[in-house]
Structure 1
Amino acid sequence: MNLFTCGQGGCVEAKKVEASDIGGQTKYLGAIVRGDTTKKQIALVFTGDEFADGGTSIQKTLKDRGINASFFLTGNFYRNKSFKSIIKKIKADGHYLGAHSNKHLLYCDWQKRDSLLVTQSEFKDDLLANYKEMERFGVYKQNALYFLPPYEWYNQSISNWTKAQELQLINFSTGTRSNADYTYPELGKAYRNSDEILKSIKTYNEVQSNGLNGFILLLHIGTDPRRTDKFYNHLDELITYLQQNGYDLVRIDNLLNH
């Protein structure tokens, strides 16, 4: 499978890597990266740290369409008083709320993935601080057992440390450019406009034998102001396309049966 890694410097295509298919789910370096490819189910997953400009639009679209999604937010996001209202609405609407680290740390080197930038103690303290912030909204660790790493970048050690906290690491399904919806023109070649992103999703669905079955489709709840072409404005169009192609849009815990 081809991995696209995204961080502050943009999205880059990583080397081709092998993922394992266990019990109908696909894992890479210990993280679940795709659900059962025999089932026409997709989990829409939104991450958030410092921006939430799409929150109201996303929440309204999902509610109007009667769809439950999943939101993985940092402690920074949960602490931000300006975001308190949207978090409460998301929870009230029945969406999954999960952890995305407390301080949005970079766990391992971009070029040398096995090179850790945090200790296990630092990882644990940061992660538990994220859950502490979630408790203020009535979301407890035992009800939010999936953890999506910051920058969507991790290694086997991070997976092992996550498991030691009795949590399961997850990441987005690769093959589309949905996770590049945060990019902006100043990033140069890494930038992907909304038409490109939507086209990549449709193309993957149409050319792959299992389409988007079991996909964890990652988007962002907000983006840098320098991105004016906001992909969340195309969310209704995306949902229409997916439903017309027979996909059931579910929460991450329903996709992965936990």
Structure 2
Amino acid sequence: MKRGLLFLFICILVLLAINSPYVSGYVEALKTDSIPVLKQKDELYEKIEGAAAEKNIAAEDARIDKIWKAIPGYNGYEVDIDASYKKMKKQGKYDPSKLIFRETRPKVHLKDLPPAPLYRGNSSKPMVAFAVNVAWGNEYLPDMLAVLKKRNVSASFFLEGNWVKKYPELARMIVDGGHEVGNHSYSHVDMAKVTKERAIEELKKTNEVIEATTGKKSKWFAPPSGSLGTNTAEIAASQKLGTIMWTVDTIDWQKPSSETILNRVTTKTANGSIILMHPTEPTAAALERMILVLKGKGFKLGTISELLSEERIHPVLGEKR
């Protein structure tokens, strides 16, 4: 009985409070104030969603191409809607400069593909790489390394194992310059003509001498003269090496003029190109101008590993080339 009376008393107090002009006015004020705030947030969120629909780019899966063989994947990017909204909500208005992006990864990666040679990177990536095959041409290496250092460019040097054994100081000079080193067989054999056992021996010996000399493990293999057997990529993969070919050939071993080399490279290079060269006099003479022209065309220059990575070169994020 007492509980019932207490409950009734509390109900009467609540009704009186709600009907009070002070309380009801406060409640109405809250309702009125909250409407534009919620409306404002909704409009901002919708604008960010609209921007995302325009700017989002899907990731590209790695794949085997009929012509170019293995093609690496490439990260997509998308607007992080919630993070962007949180960043803009203090101002309460849409500001495209405050959009926050995040990269999205492909579902299929290079490592998921069967062993196959790589002739180029992803054509959506505005980047190229120099692949320098080294088995001779010692006299031109210092000049090439000096130009690469001056222009802040890293390249990939594929070293013949026997050459590394004879000239360890030059191999270390390449690595000390911040460049990537790869496998170019031990004695410049034709991979299409040797036995599987001989091919494995060539790769293993070169891996060992490069690591012992420079402290670096090779990740990539460039077949001498670009000669591929039917199972070369599989043999290289058994030694944890990817097989690298090229997109653009300087044909510098024929000793053309530096102008000819420059023209070949700058007219044929496109997104994802691997540019093959050797330490020759005309290449050393053309290298700096080559770098300047390629950078002027908007290409980022880097190593084979950087070129084949899924990492995005993202102008929207203001990345410097």
Alpha carbons of 1:62 and 1:119: their partners in 2 closer, same or farther (altered >3 Å)? same
Match of residue 198 from structure 2: 122
CA distance in 2, matches of 1:138, 1:200: 33
**Could you tell me how far apart the structure 1 residues matched to 2:277 and 2:163 are?**
16
Q: Unpaired runs of 5+ in structure 2? A: 1-65, 75-109, 311-321
| 3-state SS in 2 of match to 1:68 | coil
2:171 aligns to what? Answer: 87
CA root-mean-square deviation: 2.4
| 3-state SS of paired residue (2:67) | coil
Q: Give 1:195 deviation, angstroms.
A: 1.9
Query: For 1:246, which of 298, 306, 316 is the aligned residue?
Result: 298
1:97 counterpart SS class: strand
Deviation for aligned residue 1:102: 0.3
Mapping 1:91-170, distance limit 5 Å: 91-108=175-192, 117-141=193-217, 144-170=218-244
Deviating more after overlay: 213-222 vs 56-65: 213-222
Residue of structure 1 in register with 2:81 after alignment: none
CA contact (8 A) 2:203 2:239 kept: no
Task: State the structure with bigger RCO (CA 8 A, min sep 6), 1 or 2.
Answer: 1
Offset of residue 138 of structure 1: 3.2
CA contact (8 A) 1:74 1:100 kept: yes
Find 1:19's aligned residue among 68, 81, 101. 68
- What SS does the corresponding residue of 1:31 show, helix, strand or coil? coil
1:131–1:140 Cα contact (<8 Å) kept: no
Specify the alignment match of 1:197 in structure 2: 261
Which residue pairs with 2:151 in the alignment?
65
Q: What is the distance in 1 between the residues matched to 2:298 and 2:260? A: 22
The Cα of 1:140 is off from its aligned counterpart by: 4.2
The sequence identity of aligned pairs, in percent, is: 25
In the alignment, which of 230, 252, 257 is matched to residue 181 of structure 1?
Answer: 252
* Structure with max Cα Rg: 2
Compute the displacement of 1:149 (Å): 0.8
Q: Shift of residue 23 of structure 1?
A: 4.4
Equivalent AA in structure 1 for residue 283 of structure 2: F
Q: Do 2:262 and 2:289's aligned partners in 1 also have CA atoms closer than 8 Å?
A: no
> How far apart, in 2, do the equivalents of 1:101 and 1:194 lie?
28
TM-score of the pair, normalised by structure 1: 0.74
User: Compared with structure 1, are the counterparts of its residues 92 and 37 closer, same or farther at alpha carbon in structure 2 (3 Å cutoff)?
Assistant: same
Report deviation, 1:86: 2.6
The answer as to 2:277 corresponding to 1:219 is yes
Q: State the 1:135 CA deviation.
A: 2.0
CA contact (8 A) 1:49 1:77 kept: yes
**How much does 1:156 deviate?**
2.9
Higher helix share: 2
Q: 1:58-92 CA distances to partner (integer Å, 9 max, x unpaired)?
A: 11001111111110010121012xx3333222111
SS at match of 1:53: helix
Q: Which amino acid aligns with 1:256?
A: L
Structure whose residues are more often strand by fraction: 1
Which residue of the partner structure matches residue 8 of structure 1? none
Give SS of 1:182's match.
helix
Partner Cα distance (2:155, 2:189) in 1: 24
Mapped contact 1:50–1:76 kept (Cα < 8 A): no
Does structure 2 retain, via aligned residues, the 8 Å contact 1:47–1:219?
Answer: yes
Deviation at 1:47, TM superposition (A): 0.7
Q: Which residue identity lines up with residue 230 of structure 1 in the other structure?
A: P
Q: Do the aligned residues in 1 keep the contact of 2:128 with 2:302 (CA within 8 Å)?
A: yes
Moved over 4 A (4+): 23-27
Q: State TM-score, norm by structure 2.
A: 0.60
Contact 2:161–2:187 (CA under 8 A) maintained in structure 1: yes
In the other structure, the counterpart of 2:84 is none
Q: Distance in 2 between matches of 1:220 and 1:164?
A: 27
What code does the residue aligned with 1:47 have? N
User: What does residue 236 of structure 1 align with?
Assistant: 288
- 1:31 paired residue number: 117
